[in-house]
Amino acid sequence: MENQQTNVEDNKDNSTPIPQTEKKKEEQLFFQCTSCIFRTKYDYFGRNPTQLKNYLLLEDSYVLEDPFSSPKEKNVIILGAHCIKCKKRVCKNMNCSCYFEGTYCICCAKNNVKMFPKALQEKINRIV
Partner 1 sequence: MDYHERMRSRHKRMRSRSLDRKRKRSKSPEQKQKKPITAYKHELGRFLEEQSSINNTSDFWRFYEKYKSLQSLQKSDVDKHKLLNLVFMEDLSFLYDKLPVLDRRGNRLDISKEDFKDLLLVIRVYQDFQQKSNFAKLHKLKLFQNDLPIAQHKAEIIEKLSQSRVLLIAGDTGCGKSTQVPQYILEAGYNKIACTQPRRIACISLAKRVAYETLTEYKNTVGYQIRFEKTKRADTNIIFLTEGLLLRQASEKETLESYDVIILDEVHERNLHGDFLIGIMKCLLHQRDNFKLILMSATINLELFSNYFDDEQIQVIKVPGRLYPIDIQYRPIIKDPYERKREKLDCTPYLQILQMIDEKYQANQKGDMLIFLNGFSEISTLADAVTEYSQIKKNWIVLPLHSSLSLEEQDKVFDYPPEGVRKCIISTNIAETSVTIDGIRFVVDSGKVNRMSYNTNVGVNKLSECSISQDSAKQRSGRAGRTGPGTCFRLYSEDDLKSFEPFTPAEIHQVPLDSLLLHMISLGLNDIANFPFVEKPATKSLEESMEKLKFIGALELDNDLLALTQLGDCLSQLPVDLTIGKMLIMSTVFGNVNSVLASASLLSIQSPLTQQAQRNSEARDLRKPMESDHGDPLSLLNFYKEWLSVKQTSTVAKSRSKRDSGMSSKVWARKRCLEEQRFYEATKLIEQFREILQEADLLPKITETDLSSGERSIRLGELKQLKSMRYRFKNDDKNKNRKQLKYEMYNHGDADQDSERVDIRDVEFRISNDFKRLQRLLNEASADSHKDLMTLKIILASGLYPQIAVEDEFNSSKTILERLYHTKHKNYVFLRPDSYFATNPEVLELHNDDIEVPPAGYFSRRPISRKHQISVYQTILETKKVYLVNTMRMPALQTLLLLGKTVATNETFTKFVVDGFLMFDVPYFGQGKALLLQAIAIRKTWKMKLESKLKDPTSTKTDQREIFYFTEDLVKYMTTEVSYNIKRLLPADLKDVFSHNCEIFDLERISQNTKNPFSEDYRISKNLEMGGINITENIVYGCLLQEEWAYNIEQEVINTEFVCKYCKKTCLGSSLFGNIRHETFCSSRTEEGTSGNKDENEEEEVIVKSNSRMYHCDVCGKNLMLTPVDILRHKKSCK
Contact residues for partner 1, defined by CB under 8 A: 1, 4, 6-7, 37-41, 52-59, 61, 64, 66-71, 73-75, 77-79, 81, 91-93, 99-101, 103, 117-120
* Shortest spacing between CB 77 and partner 1, in angstroms: 5
CB nearer to partner 1: give 74 or 87: 74
Q: In terms of Cα–Cα distance, which of 62, 64, 59, 1 is closest to 35? A: 1
Q: In terms of Cα–Cα distance, which of 99, 77, 95, 94 is closest to 31? A: 77
Contacting residues for 77 by C-beta, under 8 A, at least 6 apart: 63, 64, 65, 66, 67
* Shortest spacing between CB 82 and partner 1, in angstroms: 13
Backbone angles phi, psi at 40, to 5 degrees: -155, 165
CB nearer to partner 1: give 25 or 53: 53
CB nearer to partner 1: give 52 or 86: 52
* Shortest spacing between CB 54 and partner 1, in angstroms: 5
Q: Answer whether 39's CB lies under 8 Å from 8's CB.
A: no
Q: Answer whether 30's CB lies under 8 Å from 55's CB.
A: no
CB nearer to partner 1: give 55 or 112: 55
* Shortest spacing between CB 119 and partner 1, in angstroms: 5
